[in-house]
Amino acid sequence: MTNLKVSNLLILVGIILALPCQHQLCAQDTSPQVMSYSYGENKIKLEVDQEWIAVYLPEAEDGESVIHEILDLVDGGIPGRSIKELPYNHLYLAQVRHGESVSVLQRWNSSVAGWVAPVLYYNDRLHIPRPEILVTLSSYEPAVYQRFVESFGAEIVREFPSVRPLFVVKNPQPVDFELVIADLVDFPGVESASPNFIMRLGELIAPNDPGYTSQWHLNNTGQQGTLGVDISAEAAWSIQTGGADVIIAILDEGVDVGHEDLAPNIVTGHDSVSIQAAPGGIPGNCDTNDSHGTGCAGLAAARGNNGIGVSGVSWNAQIQPVRMGFGNHWTQNDWIIDAITWATDNGADVLSNSWGGGAPSTAESNTVDYALQTGRGGLGSILVFASGNESAGVSFPAAYSQTIAVGATSPCDEIKSISSCDGENFWGSNTGPQQTVVAPGVLMATTDIAGPGGMVAGDYVSGFNGTSSATPVVAGALAVILSQDPGLTAAQAQDILQSGADDQVGPAAQDPAGFDNNFGHGRVNLANMLALMGGPAAPVNLTCTETAVGVQISWTPGEVYDSLTIRRDGTLLSTLAGDATGFLDLNVPAGQHSWEIQGFVGATPSLARQCSLFLIGDARDLIWSPGTGTVDSGNIFGTNLVQAGRSAILTSNLQAFSDLDVFDRIWVMLGMFPNNHQITTEESAALVTYLTNGIGGKALYMEGGDTWFFDPQRPIHAEFAITGLSDGSTTDNLGEVTGALATGCDLSGLSLTYTGENTWVDRLAADPGASVVQSNLTPAYDVAVFRDNGGQLTLGVSYENGGLIDGVSTRQQLVDALLACMGGVLTAPTDLLCTVNGTSVAVSWTVTGAWDSVQIVVDGGTPQILAGDSTSASLGPLTVGSHTIEVSSVIGSEVSIPAACTIGISPAAPQGLSCSAAGADVLLSWANPSTYDSIEILRNSAVIATLPGGATSITDVDPGPGAQSYFVRGIIGGVDSPSASCGLFIPPSAVANLSCSINGDTANLAWTSSQTYDNVQISRNGIVIATLPGSAVSFQDTPGAGNHEWAVTAVLQSVSSSAILCSGTVLPVAPVNLSCSSAGNLVSLSWTNSQG
């Protein structure tokens, strides 16, 4: 959102200005009470404001006086009591004595119409429970549905269409919603129940249109940031500009339906706000100061190429305004549900939602499913949500797995942050594993409420911002592709959006190859999206499988291709034949990698298909950190582990690893409220199996501020022998964490100051067989428990390690001690030497400690176990190819980081190699003693061709004259065979265009050279008469009279070309001085001869 007019700042996902609530209004104890409800397997915790309550008085003429009068009777009155009337009509916040808010609600007694409720906060967003509960049933089966309706008919306020029955049910006492929900979920057929909250969410804020030149997100010519950083709209508009056959629903605070640049695209809207009349009596219209939806509508679908204003991404898409909030940004759960279901039922193709931040619920999630399953005649309406602007994790509803979550980028292709190039240093885009794509989200030119209202005193604004602005850009792009192909399902449209996104456009640390938590699948590119449509069918059945020598990629072609490309982490590995179905990627480094396969028919690509693997390399410690908030314990702890000599892998997804037994230890970082992760049943089962199956490691560390008492308890918790005593109390303030000595774990003498995200942590007690190893100093309570259960080592902690700061002790000292508790630290063998002898390998090393045994592993296979003092071994025979040999030390079940070497066993050389000239070409042929992966052909030591492993011949076209040496070698597993060799000499080509011309007694010879020669020989009548430089192209000869034949021969490396001939006749010279004289009957003649 823009900062141009503070009083009119708007919803949804732009930059929030707090209610009159930030400090004095929201005064809270450092350890406030909480209320909660369940969402799926998770418990949603909401903090209770200890000093304020909510009061709703719809009929009171002077609400403040009524509240003063009632509260003075309830609590005896407090000096200077403050009462705030909220923008939500007839709703007030009333101050009570600190710590008495819940008790005052329980003692409230008034005949005045209305209700009272606790003031709650979820992720710092105000939530007030209405006297209603949202109830979801398990199915529409009559036995379930009718039983509920008959039992609760009088209390049912409303039923919504959904994938499962969804009701709004009365709850006269909002303060007791936890008890009411507990009773409801015990009723047969009730799947879930949650409060119906009032919420104040945060603001998620080439045509001929005059304002188009300011719309850098459509075509960045340098107006902002970096040239070319945009969504490639102009290239896309040459194919499709977006038609009126697609409806974009703008779910927001209403849209200025009469705006000059929106009105041509506006269709009938809807008002979900139940406490106010529709502004101007027009459903979906907005109040004068509620401009946020108007800005979003302009970015998605302002009329393009109409000579006024700005252009939306989709020029002609219909805009369906759905008002589900007001006043920056007040809404309710039932309004949200009504808005989504109404838009779905009334033809919306794309639902653009630039708002978020509320607590999640099954009712809301099921409503999203309803849109995906029933919208667009069963093809699915597409739901696009803003990720949020708090530089935190992706907020709900964007965090639901079914939605498209949109983050924001700067004009310099950075994820938007307080330090990005745009200069807006007061907000940053949310990020996380739920991020789908990103789009431009700052300094956006768009529509504003016409006239003096809105963000600025005009009809257009140039500084709209937030993930609020990025979201309608994506919605508009989706509308364009639906105009191109109305038959796309929601899933297909999302696939095109993700596949067409530009990857690796941001800084390398923010935007690595493939999916990442910052850019998701990449920055939206509309031109790419359209280019992908109508192309070949994508490959199917793609799998990535780690093998001993690399990663095997396998797939099935979606149709007949001309070629396929395969990329790893965005880099082209190979272009394959169109009928290829597999590829072995050799020597892949450790870490997270993604492979992408794409088919081509001609130059037209299919959609790409991706698979991913996490290769652990030599890492033996896994850090699972799914709960990163303002403190990133995973990265901090990982740095300390590496400094302690461990090789570790950090992941946010435990399910990415099919085999946890390869790790010696797993370190679990669940985070602190409100950014903590609650362990699922699947995650719990995986950890229990790892710890107890006796196959791999047996050491598990787990930390989290709420996991031991408040969060749902899973089977993995029982393995720690910890009893959670409380969720914290008003006296809790974790400050100084001190260590203690226990059998098998010595943390004594270690004392560190705690300044983490939350000082309100679970209090712990050690069950029999376990020991307390860390406690808070003042007030005194225990925060860490160690257990050695027959070699199964566990250590549970109720704070976050990243929140500790160095003091009397350092965090590194603590991590070193924790490593000792969790199994000790082994040093690897040193001086490893691997020497190949035929098909065997001699391995030697130096012992650096007192080991139980030495373990040798070849190519990840079955370990060979030797005595602990062994220093050498002979391995073999080994198969042809590359092999990795790892040597580790072993004490008990602990295995060190291995020392490793990689060697190659060479295959046999090709046999019977022959070289023969065929004109200017050379034909090579040979026999293969075994099947190679590939064959390399070298000429004069340079590789000239790589052939399939079964090839037995090749023609070297015109290698040139001279001596040519050929080598042929087979390759298996990246290892070369010895080379077979042959050689031959290619004579030089003869000169061309030889001519002989006679000029008197001189013969002039001329020719052209076919190539570079060492010299040129001239012969006359079979006798060499001259040897010229190789560059010569002419020669003069004075041969004397007579008939002559000349031959010109090129010479290269002492080998002569064929001779080229020419001939000519040199006439003799006539006699001179002829005289005639007579004497009688005799005549005498005399002359002089000119030559012999």
Beta bridge partners of 407: 438
Tell me the two tokens of residue 391: 């530089």
Strand partners, 159: 167
Asked about 495 being catalytic, the answer comes back as no
Q: Which of 217, 259, 270, 292 is catalytic?
A: 292
252 is catalytic: yes
- Residue 732's φ and ψ, nearest 5 degrees, are -70, 135
Q: In what order do the strands lie in the sheet with 921-927?
A: 911-918, 921-927, 953-956
Residue 942 and residue 630: Cα distance in Å, rounded? 56
Identity of the residue numbered 824 = G
**In whole angstroms, what is the distance from residue 1049 CA to residue 990 CA?**
7
Q: State the DSSP string of 783-822.
A: EEEEEEETTEEEEEESS-GGGEE-SSS-HHHHHHHHHHHT
User: Do the beta carbons of residue 790 and residue 744 sit within 8 Å?
Assistant: no
Among 209, 230, 252, 338, the active-site one is 252
3-state helix, strand, coil in the chain (%, to 5): 15, 40, 45
Residues in Cβ contact with 1070 at an 8 Å cutoff, skipping those fewer than 6 apart: 1090
Count of residues for the chain? Answer: 1092
Burial of 744: CB neighbours in 10 Å, binned 0-12, 13-18, 19+: middle
The rounded distance, in Å, linking the Cα atoms of 20 and 95 is 13
Given a contact cutoff of 8 angstroms between Cβ atoms, the answer to whether 14 and 465 are in contact is yes
Check if the beta carbon of residue 25 is closer than 8 Å to that of residue 52: yes
Tokens of 873: 């071994």
Q: What sign does the CA torsion over 178, 179, 185, 190 have? A: negative
DSSP state of 313: S
Q: Could you tell me how many helices (H) and strands (E) the chain has, helices first?
A: 15, 67
**Is the dihedral angle over the CA atoms 706, 709, 712, 716 positive or is it negative?**
positive
Give kind and range of the element (H or E) at residue 285.
Answer: none
Catalytic residue among 468, 469, 798, 1009: 468
496: DSSP letter: H
Listed residue (599, 614, 586, 618) closest to 559, CA to CA: 599
HEC string for 132-177? EEEEEECCCCHHHHHHHHHHHHHHEEEEECCCCCEEEEECCCHHHH
Please tell me the distance from the alpha carbon of residue 781 to that of residue 763, in angstroms, as a whole number: 6
C-alpha distances out from residue 888 to 111, 466, 621, 898, 1061, Å: 78, 52, 15, 4, 78
Half-sphere exposure of 776 (CA within 13 A, CB side): 24
- Nearest-angstrom CA–CA distance, 447 and 469: 11
Torsion of CA 501, 506, 512, 516, to 10 degrees: -60
Residue 842 CB neighbours (<10 A):
14
- Contact residues for 676 (Cβ-Cβ < 8 A; gap 6+): 627, 629, 670, 704, 705, 706, 707, 711
Distances (CA, A) of 57 to 60, 88, 275, 733: 6, 11, 13, 38
Catalytic residues: 252, 292, 468
